[in-house]
Structure 1
Amino acid sequence: MSSDLPHNLPIQNVLSLLGEFDYSEVPKSDRYIHLWRFDDRTVITIPNRARVHRAVLRSALIQGRILEKEFTERLKGAISVSGKESIIAHVDILGFKSLLDEAKESELRFDELLNHYHKALRSAFSRIKSVTEMRHKYDWKRISHVRVYTDNLLFVSELGWQTGGESEFGRTIDEIAMYQLELAIEGFFTRGGAVIERAYCDEVTVFSPALMDAAGIEKRALFPRIILEDSAREKLRRYLEWYNNPAFCHFNDMVVIDPDGTWFINYLYVLRWFSDDMMDWTEYCEEEIPAYGGPYHPEALCQLHQHRDHIKKRLAEFKDNPAIFRKYLWLACYHNWFCSTYFSEDGDVRIPDVGTELMFTGCLVAKSRINHNDR
């Protein structure tokens, strides 16, 4: 049975919290503490020890007819908390300010933008929820706290102590990529960065020194990509030392390196991963995909086409604005590289007439050639 109750809690904390539920201590024996509530004469008995074990505390709550959820909510404000080494990503949406400026001109435009954006976020949250629920079946820890305020997205995920936090790091990268993809296929392209920093996060508080440089993180990304800052890149490098064969390294596809030396999240890889899973599933079930005989799942191709069309639209929209155009030109190059690398048997997914090609490199393949001072 999962629980938010701590394994052991100081007896003074327990007595103080039970007092908030109107329980008062009555003269105690050497071995037990007795508390009772005057209005209904309910009695709680717990061992007189320095710390209260979770099972004993749960029994006390049952005796006192106190909901565990209500007790744990009060507990959060009564005990000290501490920061943990975490991966933190701060992300914003490219060009969102101009969308908001347009939205202020009329209620209709405001609601149109709100509903479009809300739909994209709900879709992203739904996708992540389905993945985390599946992981809960295997008793895996919840991955990220996610906060959204207007066009800013914040991810905070505590790294575990087992395997140096590699599994939490990897699953958080996957989660961020899924958010980024869901927003992109709705036409919202994101930029930002991920760092490793001590942090604390719960339903009320997000606390970390890394957030003081949130604007700097976004600016350093430059293009519509989520980059790994120095601390995150160095952490990943340590994980990469454990692998010799790219086939066994999940990071080699999920984190790639720009020709300028920047490590960033390869969010489109979620589509290849989805396509392979769905094709394997239909083969396992001996089902056929109607009116389709290619090597990729049609839904993955549909989303890749949506991604392509949004970029083409932005390239045409900003052709006379060099500063913005170059951001979408980079995105077009990334899209085409991805299609050539992971969807090469479908000739319709690339963006034609881009005029520029960029070649990105898997982080494990490139690690021996990357100097530790490169960005």
Structure 2
Amino acid sequence: MNNNALIKTKRLKLHFVIYSDIIGVSHTFETFKNDYKKLDIEVGKLTHTFEETLSYLIETPKSFKGSVKVLSDNCIFSIPLKEDDNQFRHGSREIGISLEYIGLFQYILAIKNYFLKGGAAIGLLSISDMIVMGPVLEVVGNIEKNSIYPSIFLDKSVIEILNKLLTNDIYKLTNLSSWILKDNKGNFFINYLFSVININPFNYSQNEERIDNYNYFECYPHCKIEILNHKNNIQNKLQIEKVMTKFVWLGHYHNYFCNNYFQGYPELVIHNEKLNQNYPKFFEFTSIL
């Protein structure tokens, strides 16, 4: 292909992009930089976890249709958006499936004690096997850089489209809004713990955000173990001074989710004085609308 043909090729396309960092990996690399054997073990654990998690997600019924690039402790997920107003508006189907996919990715890593922080935005991207380039990368990169807490925060470009979708009667019948929460500072983020409900064929009330009249954990006992793992992982992080502030926020999120969805299971809630000591006012998480 000559240079003129290359210039005329449309490379930049609209994508839903998520950029994330795994908290603590850089510290691990620094800790073991002079101990090859231990460093190799840690890299092996991380590599295995990523490969296992990504393989599982690709094999799910709603398999991921985008691209995943992993570079050390950073991940870039990119999903091309279709603009077909006859069926979907502004890539709504792709965004909805992607929220489920990224939420499940976060969830699986979190119960294995790997926590992500990052950003998600909609914008122009050019991607190939070798190169990822486009202005949307700066947007998601800045969100990740400026965020403190272990979560994937959403740019206004995502929120604007989701709000338009959720005013449509068709999308009001879906669980799209359940994947998004807002903290008391007005930050929207992916509600990844919703994965514990979404991955199982269980009927729950869309209007009343908790499960009634069923013993969910009798049907899915492994899910209770996973939520307890999430709780224990956060409690252990709260003992580390360097990351305590980050995980106080996550502890509030964990408790919010359990208090709303699993009210009959007080053992799932984190009881730690550091949550009250550092954040006397509880985070008022609300749905997107």
Which of the five TM-score ranges fits, normalised by the shorter chain?
Answer: 0.7 to 0.9
Could you list the per-position Cα deviations for residues 259-288 of structure 1 after superposition, in whole angstroms to 9, with x for gaps in the alignment? 1111100001001222x42x68xxxxxxxx
Identity of aligned residues (%): 24
State the one-letter code of the partner of 1:83: L
Q: How does 1:137-176 map to 2 (within 5 A)?
A: 143-162=65-84, 163-164=88-89, 165-176=91-102
User: Between Structure 1 and Structure 2, whose CA radius of gyration is higher?
Assistant: 1
2:113 aligned residue? 187
- Aligned to 2:54, the other structure's residue is in SS state helix
- Matching of residue 231 in structure 1 with residue 157 in structure 2: yes
Could you list the per-position Cα deviations for residues 110-142 of structure 1 after superposition, in whole angstroms to 9, with x for gaps in the alignment? 1221122122212320221112xx347xxxxx5
1:129 aligned residue? 58
1:266 aligned residue? 191
State the alpha-carbon separation in 2 of the partners of residues 124 and 222 from structure 1.
24
2:42 aligned residue? 113
| Structure 2 unaligned residues grouped into runs of 5+ | 204-213
Could you list the per-position Cα deviations for residues 174-210 of structure 1 after superposition, in whole angstroms to 9, with x for gaps in the alignment? 1111111121111111111111101122323322112
State the one-letter code of the partner of 1:155: F
State the alpha-carbon separation in 2 of the partners of residues 108 and 317 from structure 1.
25
State the alpha-carbon separation in 1 of the partners of residues 262 and 128 from structure 2.
40
2:12 to 61, 76, 83: 83
> Deviation of residue 221 (structure 1)?
2.8
Q: Is the 8 A contact 1:123 1:182 kept in 2?
A: no
2:248 aligned residue? 329
Q: Is the 8 A contact 1:93 1:190 kept in 2?
A: yes
> Deviation of residue 303 (structure 1)?
1.1
- Aligned to 1:173, the other structure's residue is in SS state helix
Structure 2 vs 1, CA of residues 310 and 86 (structure 1 numbering), >3 Å: closer, same or farther? Answer: same
> Deviation of residue 234 (structure 1)?
1.3
1:283 aligned residue? none
Q: Is the 8 A contact 1:89 1:156 kept in 2?
A: yes
Structure 2 vs 1, CA of residues 84 and 351 (structure 1 numbering), >3 Å: closer, same or farther? Answer: same
Q: Is the 8 A contact 1:145 1:202 kept in 2?
A: no
- Matching of residue 308 in structure 1 with residue 231 in structure 2: yes
State the alpha-carbon separation in 2 of the partners of residues 123 and 268 from structure 1.
19
Structure 2 vs 1, CA of residues 178 and 95 (structure 1 numbering), >3 Å: closer, same or farther? Answer: same
State the one-letter code of the partner of 2:69: R
Structure 2 vs 1, CA of residues 118 and 245 (structure 1 numbering), >3 Å: closer, same or farther? Answer: closer
> Deviation of residue 96 (structure 1)?
2.2
1:241 aligned residue? 167
State the alpha-carbon separation in 1 of the partners of residues 105 and 234 from structure 2.
18
- Aligned to 2:192, the other structure's residue is in SS state coil
Structure 2 vs 1, CA of residues 202 and 245 (structure 1 numbering), >3 Å: closer, same or farther? Answer: closer
Q: Higher relative contact order by CA 8 Å / sep ≥ 6: 1 or 2?
A: 2
1:66 aligned residue? none
Aligned length: 264
Q: Is the 8 A contact 2:19 2:74 kept in 1?
A: yes
Q: How does 1:8-27 map to 2 (within 5 A)?
A: none
Q: Is the 8 A contact 2:121 2:139 kept in 1?
A: no
- Aligned to 2:99, the other structure's residue is in SS state helix
- Aligned to 1:348, the other structure's residue is in SS state helix
State the alpha-carbon separation in 2 of the partners of residues 328 and 272 from structure 1.
23
> Deviation of residue 308 (structure 1)?
0.9
2:138 to 212, 225, 247: 212
Aligned CA RMSD, in angstroms, stands at 2.5
TM-score, length basis structure 2: 0.83
- Aligned to 2:216, the other structure's residue is in SS state coil
- Aligned to 1:362, the other structure's residue is in SS state coil
- Aligned to 1:316, the other structure's residue is in SS state coil
Q: Is the 8 A contact 2:119 2:141 kept in 1?
A: no
